[in-house]
Amino acid sequence: CVSQAFSLATISPELAHFRLGHVGQPTAKINHHRIGDEVQGDHEFNCEPCRLAKSKKIISHTPQKRATKPFEFLHIDLQPCKPTGIGGIDHALIICDDATRRRWAIPIKTKGSSSDVLIDWATQIFNIVGCWPFEIRTDGDLSFLRFIAWIKQKGTAFTISPPATHEQNGVAESSGHIVMQGARTLMISAPNAPAYLWPEAAMATTYVLNRIRRPGEIESPIEKWNNGLQLREAGPIDLGFLRVWFSKAYVHIPKEQRVQGKKMEPRAWIGYLVGYEGNNGHIYRIYDPSKRQVVLRRDVAFWEEPLPIRHLPSSWIAAKYASKKIV
């Protein structure tokens, strides 16, 4: 059915799982009460997009000691991805705050622009929190060299992980894998989504991960960040605005944008939900297939179709990412 962003309803655990960006079922359960609608049922279910996207080998390593304050210790990972994403994007910078596990996914057009993007990002955070990080850890990618020299002048220590130790590289590597795994799951769960929307899927995954509580914790990463730094946005986070990724979106056309006198013309246009903006997500990122661009809109109604995908042919993923078909 068509649902307004803040309508109340009874929904299934499967729909809640899809709205929460395909997080694990234990994590989804402890966040059910925060998504606005009543989740009915407590049964286990099989999510085929998760099975397809999250298969991995098992790695054992000793957990690292965790920082105690926000922005004290950061991890940075650079993730390449093909095909080239919307807007010419071919990499994603994944930044993780060690203490809170808050993450940022920043799409970039070229690997060589990493330092410029990181300098801009660090400066923006400094303007908010009033300090520089104590330590940053990366895998020593050469594209970070200018940023390393710049941030060291601020008094920040820089640690480079040994080469060829990806499985043991701790939070930096795992954050990149978590974000890209989540993005991959969203893309698989939406077969009609163009493959070049992977940057939007990565940002949407990060947005949701920052706002859900993990088992055994009473605050989400964004709540830990805001409360720990005593920011204006401190306080509990509502998730009632979340909708299934790539749901059909009916975007209201404001009166001033309609042709006067043409009363039989549509009052909305059709797009697809690809993300959120703002701390409470009341601004939606909507993909407009007619223009192949993403726009920000507030007045949107959604049609959610979250049924698990079953029996995908073995060639589906290869065909999807080779196709240039546009929704």
**Tens-place pLDDT, residues 125-171:** 999 999 999 999 988 788 999 999 999 999 999 888 765 555 545 56
Average pLDDT for residues 8-26, to the nearest whole number?
A: 84
**Whether residue 271 has pLDDT greater than 70:** yes
Average predicted confidence (pLDDT) for the chain: 85
90-106: pLDDT as tens digits: 999 999 999 999 999 99
Query: Which ranges in the chain belong to alpha helices (H)?
Result: 13-19, 25-31, 48-53, 114-129, 145-152, 170-189, 198-209, 221-228, 316-322
In angstroms, what CA-CA distances link 189 with 164, 225, 239, 306? 32, 30, 20, 8
* 3-state class (DSSP) for residue 61: coil
Hey, what CATH class is 73-165+173-229 in? Answer: alpha beta
Closest CA to 279 of 314, 233, 246: 233
Closest CA to 19 of 218, 221, 305: 305
Tell me, what's the pLDDT at 85?
A: 97
Tell me, what's the pLDDT at 11?
A: 84
Percentage, residues of the chain above pLDDT 90: 53
Position 28 confidence tier, pLDDT thresholds 50, 70, 90: confident
**Whether residue 327 has pLDDT greater than 60:** no
Provide the residue ranges of all domains of the chain, joining segments of one domain with +: 13-54, 73-165+173-229, 239-326
Tell me, what's the pLDDT at 32?
A: 82
Report which listed range, 160-169, 214-223, 261-270, 318-327, is most confident: 214-223
More confident residue, 207 or 160: 207
Threshold 0.75, pTM exceeds: yes
Position 322 confidence tier, pLDDT thresholds 50, 70, 90: low
Asked if the bond preceding 199 is cis, omega within 30° of 0, the reply is no
Average pLDDT for residues 199-228, to the nearest whole number?
A: 95
